[in-house]
């Protein structure tokens, strides 16, 4: 048997069947979602192991919850699902000037421009500024009070309190991983907040040109075309304080950049929540056919929805095993082809 024939069979088999080994299937609420590495879709978060983020111009991440449209920002490493409202609820200040004027909020221009600390804490550190924060930001109070109470019971049953990264981010930084570390250096546990500076960065599929704050600013006209969190001509709050400032916060701007604005300014509010992975979804995730939450899983003893470990898993379901079946069939075909060639070759030699 000629070696070239064997190699030919092997190469053909690998070309046809091996690509399926690179397909990673995930399950979100019982819906199979394929991880992607380019274009619109669900990506593995290169900055946090076990976390997945939606990137691109308009990925299929729409989800209807309690009759309201949200979008999936990320699947956290513990399986919890991070959402952001699909639309703004209203314009509000982050914190009115003079609302908090002691401790950290008395430093710099915070007492006259509004304070950028999200929550009450014994010591908030932001560059050269540090001190006690005596009360939550007014936007925090509103979102976790009046707004949360206005949500229907279906939505509230799914929401889980989560540790939000509320640390500051410096301007023109070039390392997204360091930025995320800075955000997560200060955490607040609660129900409703806003997306962060890094959430906006991580939603961009053009990683080479838009993968950090400086690149996004320098290339904003390009970057805004591959980021689904960009909203044309709108300015809306993030959760993230501007580095080394007691009154500035990062705001997502109508041009596609992120810029610093005083906490006392009034901009659009786009709430963000985390929901339990204990959900059953239907739909395809498009705007026309969004994921829709069915009846929540409940603890029969307490009647309260409870989160469980991650449901974002690697290929355990029957439907997800199909590529591996195909792979086995492919290699079997290669072996059979080699055997057939060997037999034919031997027969020809015998006739000679």
Q: What are phi and psi of 246, to 5 degrees?
A: -100, -5
Within-domain flag for 316 = no
Within-domain flag for 170 = yes
Provide DSSP, 149-215.
HHS-HHHHHHB--EEEE---B-TT---HHHHHHHHTTSEEEESEE---HHHHHHTBS-HHHHSSHHH
Within-domain flag for 311 = no
Tens digits of residue pLDDT in 332-345: 656 565 665 566 55
Evaluate if residue 189 carries a pLDDT over 50. Answer: yes
Q: How far apart are CA 99 and CA 95, in angstroms?
A: 7
Q: Give me the pLDDT at residue 293, please.
A: 86
Q: How far apart are CA 213 and CA 253, in angstroms?
A: 13
Within-domain flag for 151 = yes
Give residue 151's region: left, alpha or beta (phi > 0; psi -120 to 50): beta
Mean pLDDT for all residues in the chain: 85
Task: Tell if the pTM clears 0.85, that is, is over it.
Answer: no
pLDDT band at 11 (very low <50, low <70, confident <90, very high): very low
pLDDT band at 270 (very low <50, low <70, confident <90, very high): very high
Within-domain flag for 285 = yes
Percentage of residues in the chain with pLDDT exceeding 90?
75
Cα torsion for 109, 166, 304, 81, to the nearest 10°? 130
Evaluate if residue 329 carries a pLDDT over 50. Answer: no
Tokens 């005083």 sit on residue: 262
Percentage of residues in the chain with pLDDT exceeding 70?
76
> CA nearest 268: which of 241, 214, 229?
229
Evaluate if residue 153 carries a pLDDT over 50. Answer: yes
User: Is 316 exposed, middle or buried (CB count within 10 Å of its CB: 0-12, 13-18, 19+)?
Assistant: exposed
Within-domain flag for 111 = yes
Within-domain flag for 27 = no
Domain enclosing residue 198, as ranges: 42-293
Within-domain flag for 327 = no
Q: How many domains does the chain have?
A: 1
Contact 119, 161 (CB under 8 A): no
CA 302 centroid distance within chain: 30
Q: How far apart are CA 51 and CA 340, in angstroms?
A: 47
Neighbour tally for 225: CB within 10 Å: 15
Q: How far apart are CA 254 and CA 77, in angstroms?
A: 31
Contact 76, 59 (CB under 8 A): no
């Amino acid at each position: 048997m000629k070696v070239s024939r064997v190699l030919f069979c092997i190469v053909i088999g690998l070309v046809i069947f091996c690509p399926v080994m690179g397909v990673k299937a995930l399950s979100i609420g019982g819906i199979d979602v394929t991880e992607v590495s380019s274009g619109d879709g669900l990506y593995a978060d290169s900055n946090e192991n076990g976390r997945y983020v939606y990137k691109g111009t308009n990925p299929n991440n729409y989800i209807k919850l309690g009759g309201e449209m949200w979008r999936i920002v990320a699947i956290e490493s513990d399986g919890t699902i991070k959402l952001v409202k699909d639309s703004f609820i209203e314009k509000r200040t982050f914190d009115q000037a003079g609302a908090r004027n002691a401790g950290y909020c008395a430093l710099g221009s915070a007492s006259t421009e509004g304070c950028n600390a999200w929550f009450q804490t014994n010591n908030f550190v932001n560059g050269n500024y540090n001190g006690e924060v005596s009360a939550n930001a007014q936007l925090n109070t509103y979102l976790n009070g009046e707004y949360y109470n206005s949500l229907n019971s279906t939505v509230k049953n799914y929401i889980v309190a989560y540790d939000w990264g509320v640390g500051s981010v410096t301007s023109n930084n070039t390392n997204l991983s360091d930025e995320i570390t800075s955000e997560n250096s200060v955490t607040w546990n609660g129900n409703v907040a806003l997306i962060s500076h890094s959430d906006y960065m991580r939603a961009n599929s053009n990683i080479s040109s838009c993968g950090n704050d400086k690149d996004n600013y320098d290339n904003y006209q390009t970057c805004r075309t591959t980021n689904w969190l960009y909203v044309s001509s709108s300015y809306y709050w993030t959760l993230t304080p501007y580095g080394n400032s007691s009154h500035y916060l990062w705001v997502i701007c109508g041009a596609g950049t992120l810029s610093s604005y005083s906490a006392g300014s009034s901009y659009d509010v786009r709430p963000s929540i985390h929901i339990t992975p204990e959900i059953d979804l239907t739909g395809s995730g498009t705007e026309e056919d969004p994921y829709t939450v069915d009846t929540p899983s409940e603890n029969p003893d307490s009647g309260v929805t409870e989160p469980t470990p991650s449901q974002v898993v690697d290929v355990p379901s029957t439907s997800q095993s199909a590529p591996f079946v195909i792979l086995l069939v492919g290699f079997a075909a290669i072996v059979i082809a080699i055997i057939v060639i060997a037999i034919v070759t031997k027969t020809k030699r015998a006739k000679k």
